[in-house]
Amino acid sequence: MQRRRVKRILIGVFAGCAALVDAGAAAAQAAASNEQLAITTPPAGSSAWVADHSFGRDLPDPATAAPAAVAAFFAGLKPAELDRLVAEYPLVVGNLDGAPPEVRYRANRVALTAERDRARQRAADTTLDATTRALSLSRANDSERLLGEGRQILAFDPRGRGLVTEVWGDLATAQRIAVLVPGSDADLGHFDQSGDPLRSPAGMARALYTEEHAQSPGTRTAVVAWTGYVTPQGLGPDAVTSRLADAAAPRLHRLLGGLEQTAHPEAPPALLCHSYGSVVCGTTAPTLHAAQPTDVVAFGSPGMGVDSAAELGTGVQVWAARNPGDWIGNVPYLEVGGLGHGADPTTHAFGAVSISSLGANGHTGYLAEGTESRHNFAAIALGHYGDVTGPSETQG
């Protein structure tokens, strides 16, 4: 009983510190937030997929198959067999890391169309209450938006608040790939916000992709906005523990394993990790064993779950940025009894390379046009390390 009481007090301290510096909406979120149910199991249709022996061989188990095994399976399919799997198991195919991206895009269009139509039916059902109908209409509109021409949805799972991963550029030919790992409140309904785009994963990814091309028009790049895990909502208990990051890390690892099979960049994909997303990246980093170091950029970070960059392993190069107007700097950088996320990545003692965010303001302003952080993130993703500026170079 005493331990639970102490835990509640500590949660209040962490959430309260953040709420005080970002009062109003954030405080309301902190008060209303609930613990989220992490998604760790394969998508709908997986049981039927595993039980399907009509191909004369076992289909790769979505729960256990390595991306290399998935890639080998798809390489042996005939066009008619591929069409059938996309039609019958769109959610399975659309979420299988190691399957060809173009096949996954096709499957996810089928899955999104089905989700849009299901949500529209519920929105029109007068036997349902007004709130349910309104939420269904919102879900239908969100799904419809992702069906727009030219959109490349690498993964889609309608469970819970909805998981979405989108690609800009051509993964098959990209020389450099960046994966954006967002933080709290990222889901289907907040994946692409037109009113304030940099608050959404899609908006940040577009900005990074645009900046890469401005800096190096001749380099073939791809940017992946990965909302492939259940994120915390608001500033409640989930935001101050690693529980959701622990569930997310194997999913991010599988994404990278799938990219290793289906894309051939000149270096491992760079990870750009915003806010709670940096906790996910910190949890994932020790499992990365690429031949070349992986660039991991932590920005607006509450901590990476460790006290130093050295604890993340020799396979990563950590970069860190935080602008003075970001309220996250007022959150306690410590870990007590499973609460908090460790040391501040922007400090000298942590051991990351500190980079300038001059011009950025607030928790979501790092990829605003003209900011040093936007320039630096693109330069790191491109491998142009000599173009990266530190805080003293632009602020001194």
* pLDDT score of 333: 86
* pLDDT score of 107: 98
Return d(Cα 353, Cα 355) in angstroms, integer: 6
* pLDDT score of 393: 57
Q: What is the pTM of this model?
A: 0.91
**Level-2 CATH architecture, domain 2-32+161-395:** 3-Layer(aba) Sandwich (3.40)
Tell me which residues of the chain have a pLDDT lower than 70.
Answer: 1-34, 393-396
* pLDDT score of 51: 97
* pLDDT score of 29: 45
* pLDDT score of 340: 84
What's the pLDDT tens digit per position in 144-178?
A: 999 999 999 999 999 999 999 999 999 999 999 99
Where along the chain do the CATH 3.40.50.1820 domains lie?
2-32+161-395
